[in-house]
Amino acid sequence: MGETVVGGVKLAWQQIGEGPDLVFVHGLAASRAFWFAQYALPLSARFRCTMYDLRGHGYSDRAPSGYSSTALAAELAGLLDALEIERCDLVGHSYGGGVALEYAAAHAARVRSLTIMDTKVNALQPRQMLADMPYLSPFEIAVAERSGIDWSQEEQIGLRFLEVVARLKAANETLPTRDAVTPFGEGRGAARTARAWIDLIDLPGVREQLLLPGVDAAQLAQRLRDTPLLLIYGERSRCMPSCRSLSALLPQAAIETVPEGGHFFPLSHAATVRPSLERFLDSVS
Amino acid sequence: MSVTSDTLVIQLSELLQDFTQDWDNDFDGDMTRETRLLADLGFESIDIIQLVVAIEQMVKKSKLPFNELLMKDGRYVDDLSIGQIADFLSQRV
C-alpha cells in the first residue's frame, strides 16, 4: 500500500499477491475497496493485483479538474509508470472501464488484455435513457418516487440516479428498500462517501468532464484491434448499447451477459463473474 | 482475556480517535472493547482497508493475515468491534 503523487495529485494505491500484473480501476463514487474482497484477494494467489483510488475518490486527493476518462487514463499511465508496471491485464468497472479503455487505446502495447464491466462509453453512447433498459429495480422505483424527476426524459440516467441517491443519503434519509448492491449502501458510514461525491460533482466543470467522449469509434477499432478483450455486461444494464457498439467495432471481443445483472453485478454476482474473468485471463496468458 | 488484548484495545482506541477525527460521525463518548467500526464509528469498506495499514504501522508488523478477520465467505464481515481486532492482534503480534 502506498501513496504516489501523479500530476500533482496524491493517489492511494495498494498491491497484493505475486505474479503477472493485474490492474483494477473502479467506477464513480466507489473506491479500490470495490475490487479488494471478491477479486483482488482471491486472485492474489496468481497475480500481483494493483488497485487504486481515482482522484476525488477514497483516500486519493480531490483535484479541481481532470475527471474526463482521457485525463484519468493519463493519470493511470503516470501511476503505472511510478509503480514500474510496464504491461498488465487491465480490468475496469463502469466509468473505470472507460478509463481502462482510454488507457488501452493510448498504450495498447502495455495492455496484455482488457476487461470492461458495464461501462457506458461516452463516444459510443452519448445519452443514456430509461428506454435503454426499462426494467427498474425495487430500489430504483423507491428512489424515483422520492425524486420527483421525470426519469423518462433524463438523458444521463445513470449519473443522475447516482446523484439523487447521494443527496438522499447525505441528508440522512432512509430509503425503504435495497437491492443486493446499491450505491452508498453501506449503512450509516456511506453518508460520508455520498457527501464526498456531491462535493465532487458540484465542482465547476466536473459533470461536463464526466460526459466527455474519449477516442472515437474509428480510433477504438484501429488501436484496439489486437487487444484481447472481454466485455461483461448486466442483462438489466442501461450500458448495453455500449456493449453492442464495442462488439461491432472489435470482433475479437468475448462477450458475457450476466443474467439478471444490474450495474453493480461485479459485486452482486461475483461468484460467477470472477470465474469468467479468470477463464479469460487464462486464455490470454 | 490477555493483558495484551486489553493493552491493544487502548492503543487501537487512540489510533481510531486519530483516524476518525474529521469524520463528523456523531460518535461521542469513550471507545471501548465493544465499539464497532461500522455501526458506531461510521466506517466503510475503504476505511477498513486503510485502517489495516495504520494498524500494521502501529504494531510494526506487516503482512498480518487480516483476511481472517475481515472476510467471511468471500465478503466483508458485517461489522468489527475494537475487541475483536485486539484479540486478533494479541494472538499474532
Pairwise CB contact (< 8 Å): B67 & A12: no
Per the CB < 8 Å rule, is A191 touching B75?
no
Task: Select from A32, A42, A271 the Cβ nearest to the Cβ of B46.
Answer: A32
Alpha carbon separation from A28 to A61, A69, A184, A253, B73 (Å, rounded): 15, 11, 11, 24, 26
For A106-122, what is each residue's pLDDT tens digit?
A: 999 999 999 999 999 99
pLDDT digits (tens, 9 = 90+) for A143-192: 888 888 888 899 999 999 999 999 998 888 877 667 778 887 776 668 88
Low-confidence ranges of chain A (pLDDT < 50): none
| pTM, full prediction | 0.94
| Closest residue, chain A, to B78 (C-alpha) | A186
Whether B90 shows a pLDDT value over 80: the answer reads yes
* Side-chain-facing half-sphere of B77: CA atoms under 13 Å: 18
Nearest CA in chain A to B37: A189
- Domains, chain A: 2-125+213-284 (3.40.50.1820), 130-208 (no CATH)
User: A16, A62, A186: best mutation site toward chain B, by most B Cβ within 10 Å?
Assistant: A186
Per CB-CB distance under 8 Å, the chain B contacts of A31 are 45-46
Task: Residue B66: name the closest of A281, A16, A267 by CA.
Answer: A16
pLDDT digits (tens, 9 = 90+) for A180-207: 788 877 766 688 899 999 999 999 999 9
Which residue does chain B place closest to A267, by CA atoms? B75
Q: Where are the domains of chain B?
A: 3-90
Q: What is the dotted CATH code of the domain comprising B3-90?
A: 1.10.1200
Cβ distance A105 to A220 under 8 Å?
yes
DSSP result, A25-64 = E--TT--THHHIIIIIHHHTTTSEEEEEPPTTSTTSPP-S
